[in-house]
Each structure stands twice: as C-alpha cells, then as structure tokens.
Amino acid sequence: MKSNDILQREIQEALKFEPLLHAAEIGVIVKEGVVTLTGNVDMLVKKTEVLHAAKKIKGVAAIVDEIQVILEKTSYTTDQEIATQIVTKLKENQVVPQNTVGIIVEKGCVTAEGILPWNFQRELALELIRNQKGVREVTNNIKLKREVYDEVEKELLEKALQRHWAFDTDEIDVEVAGATVQLSGIVGSIFQKEEAERIAYKTPGVIKVINHLKVNLEQPYLC
C-alpha cells in the first residue's frame, strides 16, 4: 500500500495536468487510502475534473468530496437564465430525445428528471447541465426504461471488458438476469470500478447495473 505522503503527492501532480485547474485551489488530505478533497472552485466542471483525476490514481479507495462551487459575482447567472440555456442546449442536441428531460433549478442547483432509453443519453444530458455556466450542483433523477428489451448477451459484455486497456478481466465476474447486469470482483481503482459500469451500460439491452466491484489497493492497475 502506498504511504499517505506518496498518494497525496501523486494526486497533487495529477491535478497539475488538468488545464482548467490551479493546484492551489484544491487541498488533498490522505489517510489509509481515503482521500479528502477540499477547496473552492468557480465552476462545477472544475469540481468534476478534480474528482475524475483523483479516481484514476492507484491506491485511492474512497473520496470525501468537500469541494465547494462558489460563483464569482461577475459571472452570476440567475436561475431563469440557467434554466433557459439548459433547455435550449437539450433541444439543440441530436442525441437526447426531445421533451424527455425536465429540470428544476433552485439557487444554481439543478435537478434533472425524466425517462430515457439509453444510459449514454442520460450521461450526455447530465454533462450538458454540468457544463452550464452558473450551475453549482446537479442531482440526477433520470431513469432508464425501454418499451422493447434486447436480450443481454453476457459474452458481448465480457469481450468489451477484455478489450479495454484498464482491466484484467479475470478479476471481474459478470452475471445477467433479464435487463440487469451484476458486476463483482476486484479492481485496482475507483476509475476502473466506474469504467466497468459505464461499459456495462453500453451493452445492448442493459437497463440496470449493480456494481459490487471492490477496490483493492494492492491490485495491479493496468496502464
């Protein structure tokens, strides 16, 4: 297991490579693989980048997110403006079906609701919202549901995991029940755990993923 000092330094160095960030904005505290991130940023997308960078580091078992999004007065956007601009973006994109995602905005905090057939559509909708100027926080209440279900091919998902550079697939078990996939086993980072779930959601027919993958700090991290 990496020492607290080494893990802290690796995370701080990773943050320096994020073009949107200034390393001085973020505090990093490490104790036995649990990473606490602190500080203030002026955009939600910056907070997202910090979390994404930290999750990729081998040895991070859990993250405590204490980063606050504090908007500068000069860039303040009203809830009405935020809502109007998000609705426009959702209408202009060609991936998320029209009139399927609704939003509620309160003091810069956005709740997204609705039903979509595919997870990649949900991820795109949430990304559009997170990148909107003035948004401080996003709550995802978008559900997945399809009228016609494809039969989930377990072998198709297993091959997709095998092709991915980040995984030793001998450590990941896949179980399929109807439109639900369950992942279990051991991976070496939070990034690998979340990436396996994203791949599972891309498999035709999958509506729900139960992610029981565990992060083992001693597990090799392929890179």
Cα–Cα distance, 58 to 218 (Å, whole number) = 9
Q: What is the pLDDT of residues 9-27, one digit of tens each?
A: 999 999 988 887 775 679 9
Which of 70, 91, 115 represents a domain boundary (last residue)? Answer: 70
pLDDT tens digit string along 127-162? 999 999 999 999 999 998 876 666 788 999 999 998
pLDDT attached to residue 76:
76
In the predicted structure, residue 116 carries a pLDDT above the cut 90? yes
Q: 187 in a domain, yes or no?
A: yes
Same domain, 119 and 158: no
CATH number where 66 lies: 3.30.1340.30
> 18, 17, 67: which is closest to 40 by C-alpha?
67
SS3 176: strand
pLDDT-above-70 percentage for the chain: 92
What per-residue confidence (pLDDT) applies to 223?
45
Nearest-5° angle of CA 45, CA 67, CA 72? Answer: 65
Average pLDDT, the chain: 89
Q: What is the pLDDT of residues 63-105, one digit of tens each?
A: 999 999 988 776 678 999 999 999 999 999 999 999 999 999 9
What is the length of the chain? Answer: 223
What is the gyration radius of the CA atoms in the chain, in angstroms? 19
pLDDT computed for residue 200 by the predictor: 94
Percent of the residues in the chain that have a pLDDT greater than 90, as a whole number:
62
Backbone dihedral angles phi then psi of residue 34, each to the nearest 5 degrees:
-95, 120
User: Does the structure show a pLDDT above 60 at 173?
Assistant: yes
Which range of residues forms the domain containing residue 45?
A: 4-70
Cα angle, residue 59 at apex, residues 56 and 62 outer, rounded to 5°:
80
pLDDT of 169 above 90: no
Contact predicate 14/56, CB 8 Å: yes
Higher pLDDT, 57 or 223: 57
Average pLDDT for residues 52-61, to the nearest whole number?
90
- The more confidently predicted of residues 114 and 179 is 114
Quote the tokens at residue 193: 């755990």
Total structural domains in the chain?
Answer: 3
Residues 66 and 41 in one domain: yes
Q: What is the pTM of this model?
A: 0.74
The answer as to whether 149 is a domain residue is no
41 and 97 share a domain? no
